Amino acid sequence: MLRLNRLTDYAVVVLGAMSRNSEVMTAPYLAQTTGIPQPTVSKILNALSRHDLIVSMRGAGGGYLLDRKADDISVADIIQATEGPIALAACVDGADDHCDVEATCLMRGNWNRVNTAVADALRTVSLADMMSFEHAFPLPENNPQNEALESGNQPT
């Protein structure tokens, strides 16, 4: 199973919280708002700042701001900031790992097509898309839970 690490999932949550407000936000505030432990939020903020997804502001009114609009931050950007290059197998371009049979493998280089397709797909989904209920899976017709979900309430 292909699975992103928890830090990436949390990074999407933190960036989502930041995208709802254009004010400077501190790590403690983001931790309180998201329910993610403050040391983890700080680690995420450092990674996102190093990859130019957010801006760090020092001083008494300091904190963090998105460096660009949520529409301009892709899921691929977030993954690369928290996990490094998108590489599905050890033999794809940009992978940090090396396979023991890489020199004789018949599949060498062929994983690049798959890796490129996945990376391209992740580039088409923005943070704004992740935050939008409209982009979620369509609700079934005539479902009594639709009204509650569309209003942002949890169904009973």
**Average pLDDT, stretch 101-129?**
84
pTM, to two decimals: 0.76
Contacts of 139 (CB under 8 A, 6+ apart): 145, 146, 149, 150
Give per-residue pLDDT as tens, 81-111: 999 988 777 666 666 666 677 677 777 677 7
Q: How far from 135 is each of 40, 96, 97, 132, 142, CA to CA, in Å?
A: 28, 34, 35, 6, 19
* Model pLDDT, residue 146: 47
Give per-residue pLDDT as tens, 52-66: 999 999 888 889 999
